[in-house]
Amino acid sequence: MHEAAVHPHAPPQGFLRTHVFSVDHKVIGKQYLDLALVAVCTGMVLSWLMRLHLAWPTAAIPGLDKLSPNGAAGGVITPEYYLSLMTMHGTIMVFFVLTTAPFAGFGNYFLPLQVGAEDMAFPRINMTSFWVTLVAFLVLISSFFVADGPALSGWTAYAPLSAVGKDAGPGQGLGQTLWAISIAIFCVAQLLGALNFIATTLDLRTKGMSLARMPFSTWAWFITAVIGLIAFAVLMPACILLILDRVAGTSFFIPSGLVISDRLQPHSGGSPLLWQHLFWFFGHPEVYIAILPGFGIISHILPVFARKPLLGPRAMIGCLIAIAFLSYTVWGHHMFLSGMNPFSATLFSVPTLIITIPATIVTLLWIGTIYGAKLRFTTPALFCLGFVSVFVSGGISGFFLAQPSIDTYLHGTYFVVGHFHFVMGVAAMFGIFAGTYFWFPKMFGRMMNETLGKWHFWLTFIGVYCVFMPMHYLGLAGNVRRYSAFTDDYLKPLIPLHRFITIAALFTGAAQLIFLFNLIRSRFRGPKAPDNPWEATTLEWATTSPPPFDNFGGKPPVVQRGPNEYGVAGAGGADYLMQAAPEPAPAR
């Protein structure tokens, strides 16, 4: 570590500086996680409302008319309000949960600890990026309270629907502008965060922490930061162009000759496909921004509970890098039927299919790690196993959608909804759950309740299969997505299956209350956690639980070996060697 890189700030004094406007990466990490918790509760309630409406379109939901007198008069959701709920659900979940928790949250807390640093490279920028994220979230949420409701053009906000303004119907007024502003602000926060992650990984590693000795989770956060740096740098200008189209009369995404509500639009020369290209150039890497930290977390945690090293550590890191690189070559697979040149479909299809090779290898490495292991079935271990299963289920359906010829039938159906919920939604959530149960003792100095954790796992694991597997069947039957009601003749027979999904979603959602209860109760009442309760090797376990302000009490650890030393002869009969532990005496 460079001398100059030792961070200069002393422990803060006073409540505000310690807990609110803190520059400590650990406090900031927890703030991100708390924000994600609020966001995920909001997003999940929105999904319940949508599912209730899909199963029983005329049912009145008590109290909903208070939130939106126009969108849900008498508690019955209107078609436009359904689309608003859907748009907000997608936006909140993708940006403020799946990006915020596994990357910004856990990454902020544990990346500096895992590389043996005292803080992030730029603590003030780190604090700024959290508060900017919070502003983005508040701007988005505020759109629930504007006159014609939140945006309704989906989390993808396809132009020209998102660009032409009020003429295009409800949800296209201030709500859509706020959406674009919120996402542009969010991009700023992510860019600042990504820079910080990259600088910290490259510059602040402690003595002996070579790149090859970095834990898999650190690798994943580092690679994710590189992806994010490029992806958000494209989405931010795209959002600014969209805002300009909406408020300044420009025509980046609006062609000439559009007639909306019998009014010829005063725009010309723009291209709706330009928005799609810009959005998906961000959007596909975003899928990996959501899931790669999960890859890292699982690869980090699985060996701890398998009590053996991860199979193929170099192959794992190679696959993460390959996936990151390939993620930039596949965005057009979202656009096979968009009207882009059909010749390019094959061009985008091939790298999409090629991504399945590293993804398959990664999965096999996890399964191969479990082979012959002595598994300790703790809650985080169960969520790791669940992650592998749901990732396989979600990844397999990608095989279908990657092929333009099959996408011709399945595009725009529930098959796609089932696919991405499994692979980037549920899998990423399982990564977050595994990380939470695993790192909670370090973050709060207390253990979570194992019995409640296991109930949470079993109900969630079975629940998500009941919710998302049937969506594949719906898609095969041609069930179109983003419909607020199924009035078409061929869709009516599918309504019973939708009701099953709704009931399963409500049950699975209710099971999350167990997690919430466990989380809050353990924070105050959980039994005291030792420094290294899981007998893990990495540096975050080589300090107290929770760590002191400067992480290692002024004595930066000196790393002796990689993170993968399980199933070896350790000190005192242990079966592992910590990264910073001195070489044990040779056994006689």
Partner 1 sequence: MGKLFAVVLTIITVVATAIFVMRVWWLPADISVHGPWIDHQLMETMLSSGILFVVSQLALALFVWKSGDRREGRKIKIFPGGAVPMVVLATVLVGAEILALTFVGSKVWASIYQTPPDPNSLAIDVQAEQFAFYFRYPGADGKFGGIHPELMNEASQNFFGLDPAHDTAARDDIVVPTLAIPVNRPVLLTLRAKDVNHAFYVPELRIQQDFVPGLVIPLHFTATQPGKYELVCTQLCGLGHYNMRAYVEVMPQEQFDQWLKQQAAQQ
Confirm or reject binding of residue 85 to partner 1 (CB under 8 A): no
**Segment 400-419, which members bind partner 1 (CB under 8 A)?**
400, 403-406, 408-409, 411-413
Nearest to partner 1 of 1, 480 (CB atom): 480
Gap between the Cα atoms of 388 and 382, Å rounded: 10
Binding mask 553-582 for partner 1 (x = CB under 8 A): --------------x---------------
Q: Are 539 and 519 in contact (CB under 8 A)?
A: no
Instruction: Report the C-alpha gap between 417 and 475 in whole angstroms.
Output: 8
Residue among 141, 149, 94 at smallest CA distance from 287 = 94
Task: Give 425's DSSP letter.
Answer: I
Among 18, 250, 338, 544, binds partner 1 (CB under 8 A): 338
What distance in Å separates the CA atoms of residue 427 and residue 501, rounded to the nearest whole number? 18
Among 252, 444, 465, 552, binds partner 1 (CB under 8 A): 465
For partner 1, the binding residue among 158, 455, 500, 507 (CB under 8 A) is 158
Note the Cα 364 to chain centre separation in Å.
23
Give the count of residues interacting with partner 1 (CB under 8 A). Answer: 108
Residue the block writes with tokens 């909001």: 42
Give the shortest CB-166-to-partner 1 separation in angstroms: 12
* By the rule CB under 8 A, 370 interacts with partner 1: yes
Q: Are 364 and 316 in contact (CB under 8 A)?
A: no
Query: Of residues 112, 116, 165, 170, which one binds partner 1 by CB under 8 A?
Result: 170
Site string for partner 1, 438-457 (x = CB under 8 A): ----------------x---
Question: Taking contact as CB under 8 A, which single stretch among the options 6-14, 204-212, 300-308, 429-437 is the one that binds partner 1?
Answer: 300-308
> Taking CB under 8 A as the rule, does residue 199 contact partner 1?
no
DSSP conformational letter for 480: B
278 binds partner 1 (CB under 8 A): no
Report, in Å, the least distance between residue 399 CB and partner 1. Answer: 4
Q: Which of 138, 247, 337, 510 touches partner 1 (CB under 8 A)?
A: 337
Q: Check residue 356 for interaction with partner 1 (CB under 8 A).
A: yes
Smallest CA-to-CA distance from 238 within 277, 289, 212, 199 is with: 277
User: Is residue 207 exposed (0-12), middle (13-18) or buried (19+ Cβ within 10 Å)?
Assistant: exposed
Residues 375-394 that bind partner 1 (CB under 8 A): 375, 377, 382, 385, 388-389, 392-393
The two three-digit tokens of residue 218, written as one number: 């650190």
In the chain, % helix, strand, coil (3-state, to 5) comes to 65, 0, 35
Taking residues 483 to 512 in sequence order and writing x for each that binds partner 1 by CB under 8 A, - otherwise, the string is xxxxxxxx---x--x---------------
Residue 431 has which token pair?
A: 């990564």
- Site membership for partner 1, residue 291 (CB under 8 A): no
Cα separation, 151 vs 164, whole angstroms: 13
